[in-house]
Structure 1
Amino acid sequence: MNIALVHDWLPFMGGAERVITNFLEVFEDAPIYTSVYNRDNLEGILKDANIYGSFLQNLKSARRDHRKFLPLMPTAFETFDLNKYDVVLSSSSSCAKGVVTNPNTCHICYCHSPMRYGWEFYYEYIENLGKFKKSIIKYIMNYMRIWDNASSNRVDYFIANSKNVANRIWKHYRRESVVIHPPVRSKFFKACEKKQDYFLIVSRLQEYKRVDLAIEVFNDLNIPLVIIGDGPLKEKLVNKVKRDNIKFLGRQPDDVVKKYYGEARGFLFPGEEDFGITSLEAQCSGTPVIAYGKGGALETIIDEKTGLFFEDHTVNSLKSAIDKFCKIEFNPNEIRAHAESFDEDIFKHKISNFVYDKVDEFKNNKKWVVL
């Protein structure tokens, strides 16, 4: 079986990049097609993978900030020639699913989310933009929504990373999907019973992650908060800090993140996520999670056993959850046992079975009738 992998972009490591890593472990030697990549920031087998960038790879500014080139992403993926492959397995939360394949190629899309900034989260993304930028973006997004919906028809089979995303795939594309939850590296993380006093956030610093809400709350609390991660909002978030109990560590290597996960008193997950792999990494470390009670968190956290939910994106709601959290005694081993059900070996087994089953189905489907 001649298979190609397609991924939105590879400028850094994150949850989606762990998925493409597992794909490559299942389908060894498969090439990866992506809009832009930075090999220096990649880890594990991705570092030496056979990666093909689009024409955007030739632009230094695109490699620095791919988000500015969103209007060119559809063209970037449509220019890849994938005709020689029997199977295309795309990993998409943006435009990767829009590659063009021939009628004999089976295209399976692992969908992390329909384009967040194009659909129901559009207003969150533009909320803090000026009037001029908003006026331009609304026309760009109109085009992107039309293309996003139309390109969903190029996919033969959809996999959703959660029930939450499966509902959104149906809403925006009117396509059915099978849910296979993303992988967590449970063997890498270890449960730690000797906890420190700090709470932890590990996140890209973007609008929808709602790190700003956590900072606002911890500005009023005499409890340490450690924030690991980088992103376009870093400077703005740093300027919101009013107390020295809040520390930004930037991006950190895996071993450092592992240590902070294990020793944290609790992990904060304040945004509405499609799934949310960091909350599972925390649970694999025996650390309970305080999460916003919507989206993928509802599929990964057991209320009052592996964490707590707060109901509203308000200071009072999150403060109340933290207060309740501090009165509960969580069991690190029980928390880890729950997270192990999302292990990457389970994920790879499910992906392999799904791909081979659907390729057989695709080949055997009668697509024409002779009269």
Structure 2
Amino acid sequence: MNVVHPPRPAHQTMRVAIVHEWLEHYAGSERVIEQLLIMYPQAEIFAIVDFMPQAERSMLGGRPVHTTFIQKLPFARRCFRYYLGLMPVAIEQLDLSGFDLVISSNHAVAKGIITGPDQVHVCYVHSPMRYAWDMQAAYLRQGGIERGLRGLYARWLLHRLRNWDVRSAAGVDVFVANSSYIARRIRKVYRRNATVVFPPVDVDRFEMSTAPRQDYVVVSRLVPYKRIDLVVEAFRRMPERVLHVAGDGPERERIAALADNAPNIILHGRVSDEEVLRMMRQARAFVFAAEEDFGIAMVEAQACGTPLIVFGRGGACDIVRDMGDAGGATGVFFDEQGADAIITAVERFESIQDRITPQACHANAQRFSQSAFRQSMSRVVEQALHEMRPGTIEAT
């Protein structure tokens, strides 16, 4: 017999849930949540925990956040990440049964929420769990837990997380990746295809400059995987070129030691947003050696009209237009994470920099604007709703 389901409600009455891992600070993934809330002002928000400071909560528009039992566990405010092993259980306890559309913002466990056959689940992936998959060895090494009982427990926990991660991917109807690189990781880990929608960048905040430029700049957190050490080492061997390093983090002392006795390398530490804007607008080029999932700082530099000299892996490949691109070059790549490769790239850049204009860089950045994100994400969701709207099915 034929079973006919009622049509899905119109968008103005459609119930929408937005699920995030945790709300702690306003950063890259929170920018996605902010734009989703603009797209769906009626949406309700769910998260493992919510410890976002009052000064950063304006993006939520006064909405309450539905949290899990981890919110009330001892020392959760400071140490909620230590409850990682409980997060799959916690996320599965959220009751989303009354919603028509569920959008999860995932870099750990958010995609594991449970939905029914008449609900559409769209998952925006910042990255599959890096520490559980291809970067497990690096995380264990950096955490100093490669061996011993702690290392054994960590490997066991990550093994269980990998199994759960793959199983929970089956509950996602549509995967969306923040870059082509992450789309490939999704394909590798979950054996699923993903549509690429670049994350929203507030490019309007960064004004283009056509003034003469002389020095180089890197703006980044000083953590191991950012490989600021390679950039500093390269410029230490190029004393005739000045490098400005803005940012702070656990690698600061090591970076300062590498820059010792190198007057052409200026360490600024943590600087204000206004100072970052000034440095980017005055830079000859923005240099970056990390393999990023996407790379918002690179887009912000382009919005200032600043060329890029970056490692040609990860999200950078979606951002930089190299020589020969029809839209006009906006930077150059280097193929290895090493000081020698960076030096060669800087020399190559200087040989062609007259062919890289601030206007081309600024225009390139517009592809990653907040409005571009909303338009692209809206198309993905609309298509998912259209294709998965319950209709007539055959039942016996």
Q: TM-score, normalised by structure 1?
A: 0.89
SS of the equivalent of 2:66 reads strand
Equivalent residues in 2 for 1:28-39, closer than 5 Å = 28-36=41-49, 37-39=51-53
Distance 1:12 1:298, change over 3 A: same
Partner of 2:287, secondary structure, is strand
Q: Is the 8 A contact 1:112 1:161 kept in 2?
A: yes
Aligned to 2:360: 334
**Which of 282, 300, 304 is equivalent to 2:319?**
300
Give the conservation status (yes or no) of the 8 Å contact 1:5–1:33. Answer: yes
What does residue 117 of structure 2 align with?
A: 103
Alignment correspondent of 1:7: 20
Partner Cα distance (1:115, 1:365) in 2: 35
In structure 1, the residue matched to 2:38 is 25
* Higher RCO (C-alpha under 8 Å, 6+ residues apart): 2
Alignment of 1:342-353 (within 5 A): 342-353=368-379
Whether the 8 Å contact between 2:16 and 2:42 is mirrored in structure 1 is no
d(CA) in 2 for partners of 1:16, 1:187: 19
Equivalents in 1 of 2:294, 2:211: separation in Å?
28
- RMSD of the alignment, in Å? 2.5
Q: Is the 8 A contact 2:186 2:194 kept in 1?
A: yes
1: CA distance, partners of 2:86 / 2:252: 26
CA contact (8 A) 2:46 2:65 kept: yes
Q: Does 1:263 align with 2:282?
A: yes
Q: Quote the Cα distance in structure 2 between the aligned partners of 1:159 and 1:103.
A: 20
Partner of 1:166: 183
Task: Report the residue type matching 2:293 in the other structure.
Answer: D
Please say if 1:175 is aligned against 2:192: yes
What aligned pairs does 1:137-176 form with structure 2 within 5 A after superposition?
Answer: 137-176=154-193
For residue 153 of structure 1, report the CA deviation from its aligned partner: 0.9
- Does the 8 Å CA contact 1:266/1:287 hold for their aligned counterparts? yes
In 1, Cα distance between equivalents of 2:284 and 2:58: 29
Give the aligned partner of residue 312 of structure 1: 336
User: SS where residue 97 of structure 2 aligns?
Assistant: coil
In structure 2, C-alpha distance between the alignment counterparts of 1:302 and 1:61, rounded to whole Å? 46
Change (3 A) 1:237 1:100: farther
Q: Deviation at 1:369?
A: 3.2
| Residue 323 (structure 1) aligns with | 347
Q: Where does residue 277 of structure 1 map in the other structure? A: 296
Give 1:247's aligned residue. 267
CA 1:297–1:364: 2 relative to 1, 3 Å:
same
Contact 1:226 1:249 in 2 (8 A): no
Range moving further from structure 2, 98-107 or 203-212:
203-212
Deviation at 1:54, TM superposition (A): 3.0
Aligned length: 369
Report Cα offsets for 1:97-121 as digits up to 9, x if no partner. 1112233321110112211122122
Alignment of 1:60-75 (within 5 A): 61-64=75-78, 66-75=80-89
Cα 1:189–1:155 shift into 2, 3 Å: same
Q: Deviations over 1:331-369 (max 9, x none)?
A: 111111111122211210121232133123222366x63
Query: Cα deviations across residues 271-315 of structure 1 (Å, max 9, x unaligned)?
Result: 112222221111011011111111221111012421111111111
CA separation in 2, counterparts of 1:211 and 1:69?
Answer: 31
How far apart, CA to CA, are the structure 2 residues paired with 1:40 and 1:233?
29
Provide closer, same or farther for how the CA distance between residues 3 and 309 of structure 1 changes in structure 2, counting only shifts above 3 A: same
Percentage of pairs with the same residue: 35
Name the counterpart of 2:243: 225
Alignment check: 8 A CA contact 1:34 1:53 kept: yes
**Is 1:127–2:141 an aligned residue pair?**
yes
In the TM superposition, what whole-angstrom CA distance separates every residue of 1:76-133 from its partner, at most 9, and x where no partner exists? 3222222221111011121111112233321110112211122122222233424334
Which piece of structure 1 moves more, 328-337 or 207-216?
Answer: 207-216
